[in-house]
């Protein structure tokens, strides 16, 4: 994907959040989401903190309590920005969001190649600011869906941002199928994603490593089918396999292991 395409999707994802949150009431801002310990407002505070960092603004000096749902240094860093805004009205955090989005959009639309080539340490490892846009699109769209589930505001399940996110999450499936679910050597599985974003993913274990293959395997030990909304909820750890509806055929125990291990978020 070109830098221009990444910028376009990032701006689209940012604007979708703004449109979604514009009419929210204070009660809605405080509703809990599937992110442990986070309200709707906290999701926006998190996004504000990341986009402020990308704008080169100083991070908060506030230190959040060591909540038990914080699992790593990234989570701890995120929580400082969120907790610094928890006592504020949702409308005030949203006003900051709109200001940050306007500034960030201008930065993205006017930046030159040198800007996007700058190195940055991403959650997935070293990369550039251009590479980081791939993760920003995913993160923003995922939190859009977190807010929608919390408030029963169905929508934005398809389109380029959803497709980009799901394709990025699909890249983690070989680890799930091979290492986590211990699919035996030489076996193949299919994961069929249906609904707004449709994908058929075939994974085969060869020489001890699972890999995505292009051609449909002649035989498959199991097939798992789930809606794209279910796939994203499982792959991002928002829901468990027991909380969602999915089906399988073939080796039921292997299918269960795969579905229960889909979460690949940090």
Domain residue limits, the chain? 3-156, 166-260
pLDDT in tens, 105-153: 999 999 999 999 999 998 888 999 999 999 999 999 999 999 999 999 9
Number of other CB atoms surrounding residue 24 within 10 Å: 20
Residues in the chain: 266
The CATH architecture annotation of domain 3-156 reads: Up-down Bundle (1.20)
pLDDT in tens, 51-106: 999 999 999 999 989 998 888 888 888 999 999 999 999 999 999 999 999 999 99
The CATH architecture annotation of domain 166-260 reads: 2-Layer Sandwich (3.30)
Read off the pLDDT of each residue in 222-241 and give the average, rounded to a whole number. 97
Read off the pLDDT of each residue in 216-241 and give the average, rounded to a whole number. 96
Q: From residue 259, how far is each of 15, 158, 233, 238, 245 by CA, in Å? A: 32, 22, 11, 13, 11
DSSP E strand stretches across 123-232 = 125-128, 188-194, 199-206, 209-213, 222-227
CB 138 within 8 A of CB 164: yes
Closest to 183 measured CA to CA, from 259, 79, 108, 254: 254
| Angle (CA) 190 196 197, round 5° | 45
Closest to 147 measured CA to CA, from 30, 3, 69, 236: 30
pLDDT in tens, 139-193: 999 999 999 999 999 999 999 999 999 999 999 999 999 999 999 999 999 999 9
**Global confidence as pTM:** 0.94
pLDDT for 72: 86
């Amino acid at each position: 994907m070109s830098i221009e395409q990444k910028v376009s999707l990032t701006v689209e994802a940012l604007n979708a959040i703004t449109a979604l949150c514009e009419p929210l009431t204070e009660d809605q801002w405080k509703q809990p989401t599937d992110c442990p310990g986070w309200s709707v407002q906290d999701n926006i505070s998190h996004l504000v903190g990341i986009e402020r960092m990308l704008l080169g603004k100083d991070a908060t000096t506030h230190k959040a309590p060591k909540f038990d749902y914080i699992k790593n240094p990234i989570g701890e860093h995120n929580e400082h920005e969120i907790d610094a805004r928890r006592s504020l009205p949702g409308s005030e955090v949203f006003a900051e969001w709109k200001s940050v989005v306007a500034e960030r959009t201008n930065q993205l639309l006017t930046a030159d190649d040198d800007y996007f080539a700058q190195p940055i340490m991403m959650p997935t490892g070293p990369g550039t600011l251009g590479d980081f846009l791939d993760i920003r699109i995913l993160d923003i769209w995922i939190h859009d869906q977190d807010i929608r589930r919390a408030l029963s505001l169905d929508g934005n399940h398809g389109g380029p941002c959803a497709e980009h996110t799901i394709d990025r999450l699909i890249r983690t499936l070989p680890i799930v199928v091979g290492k986590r679910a211990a699919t035996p050597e030489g076996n193949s599985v299919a994961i069929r994603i249906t609904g707004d974003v449709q994908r058929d993913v075939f994974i085969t274990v060869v020489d001890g490593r699972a890999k995505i293959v292009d051609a449909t395997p002649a035989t498959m030990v199991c097939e798992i089918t789930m809606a794209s909304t279910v796939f994203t909820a499982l792959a991002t750890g928002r829901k468990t396999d027991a909380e969602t509806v999915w089906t399988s055929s073939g080796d039921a125990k292997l299918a269960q292991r795969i579905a229960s291990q889909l979460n690949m978020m940090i």
